[in-house]
Amino acid sequence: MELLRAKQDALRLALQRHAPLLVAYSGGVDSAYLLAEARHTLGREGMLGVIADSPSLPRKALAEALALAAAIDAPVEVVPTGELENPDYAQNPVNRCYFCKAELFANLERMAESRNFRGLAYGENADDMRQVRPGRQAAAEFQVLAPLRDAGLTKEEIRSASRAIGLPTADAPAQPCLSSRIPHGTPVTAQALAMVEAGEEWVRSLGFSVFRVRHIEQEVAPGAEGVALAPLARVQIAPEEMSKLPEAGHQLEAGLRAVGYAAVEIDPRGYRAS
């Protein structure tokens, strides 16, 4: 507990040093805690949360992020971003996230310059340094701060601290953007993202909590115009929830077909967070 308090003190000092501050906010575990600490440390006048809005952000996630910000009295603005219009992003390379973060940080930089904010910050934590994250390159290029990471706060510590101040995200599962459901190399389109969003809403309505609907473009029998593609939904359910499948399986498949998927496949390995 002493170590966590020391890290929180370091975080708050960093926030004070760079105020007034723009905070990249998604409503996830890390950015929600960063937003709450910025609001607590700097007051409403010393910070502003910014949500990047595009087809890759589910409407439910946007609504929940805005509701959380309102509950903690943190000012937040929604800024439309156009990463889907960038071919480097839409082609879905392995470093897709770099182009997304670069689009976001370019918007934040313009806001900071026009409205006299001193610093930009995002929610990378200390554990994230163990992973290859293309967005980190964009953060470095735009000199975006990672105060949670620099204070040494791990994901588990952030969850614990969030729980202590009553944030609803404390025990929330990871929710990366909808584009992450589309395999690298398969183009990211607004239509595909809409199908994934509607599909996951349907699966959630059946009582599942931790899962993914993967959008797979599969080849079908060639026709007069060459090989055609049809979307397959590959559903990954958390192992502890797979016992619900026998009862809900038919409904799950019917709903995903209604969304537009030509076929539905249940991944027998289930879903496990990476």
Q: Residue 52: which of 6, 15, 116, 104 has the closest Cα?
A: 104
- pTM beyond 0.85: the answer is yes
Q: Residue 49: which of 60, 35, 36 has the closest Cα?
A: 35
Backbone φ, ψ for residue 221 (5° rounding): -55, 135
Same domain? 132 vs 254:
no
Read off the pLDDT of residues 29-85 as tens digits, 9 standing for 90 and up.
Answer: 999 999 999 999 999 999 999 999 999 999 999 999 999 999 999 999 999 999 999
Domain boundary among 147, 164, 181: 164
The residue among 168 and 274 whose pLDDT is bigger is: 168
**Is there a domain that residue 258 lies in?**
yes
Q: Do the Cβ atoms of 243 and 207 come closer than 8 Å?
A: no
Same domain? 146 vs 194:
no
Structural Rg of the chain based on CA atoms: 20
Q: Decide if pLDDT at 171 tops 90.
A: yes
**Is there a domain that residue 257 lies in?**
yes
Query: Which pLDDT value is given to residue 252?
Result: 97
**Confidence bin at 130 (pLDDT 50/70/90):** confident
Same domain? 64 vs 8:
yes
Q: Do the Cβ atoms of 108 and 80 come closer than 8 Å?
A: no
Same domain? 75 vs 202:
no
Same domain? 142 vs 257:
no
Same domain? 19 vs 137:
yes
Q: Is the dihedral of CA 114, 64, 135, 100 positive or negative?
A: negative
Q: Do the Cβ atoms of 30 and 158 come closer than 8 Å?
A: yes
Same domain? 142 vs 194:
no
Same domain? 147 vs 233:
no
227: containing domain? 189-266
Q: What's the CA gap between 32 and 123, in Å, rounded?
A: 8
Task: Say whether the peptide bond before residue 20 is cis (omega within 30 degrees of 0).
Answer: yes
Read off the pLDDT of residues 220-262 as tens digits, 9 standing for 90 and up.
Answer: 766 556 667 799 999 999 999 999 999 999 999 999 999 999 9
Q: Decide if pLDDT at 111 tops 70.
A: yes
Q: Do the Cβ atoms of 155 and 127 come closer than 8 Å?
A: yes
Alpha-helical segments (H) within the chain: 2-17, 29-42, 59-71, 87-90, 96-115, 134-141, 147-150, 155-164, 190-205, 245-259
Q: Residue 192: which of 202, 205, 179, 204 has the closest Cα?
A: 179
Same domain? 160 vs 202:
no
**Is there a domain that residue 181 lies in?**
no
Number of structural domains, the chain? 2
The tokens describing 37, both together, are: 């600490």
**Is there a domain that residue 247 lies in?**
yes
**Is there a domain that residue 272 lies in?**
no
Same domain? 127 vs 6:
yes
Q: What is the CATH number of the domain that holds 12?
A: 3.40.50.620
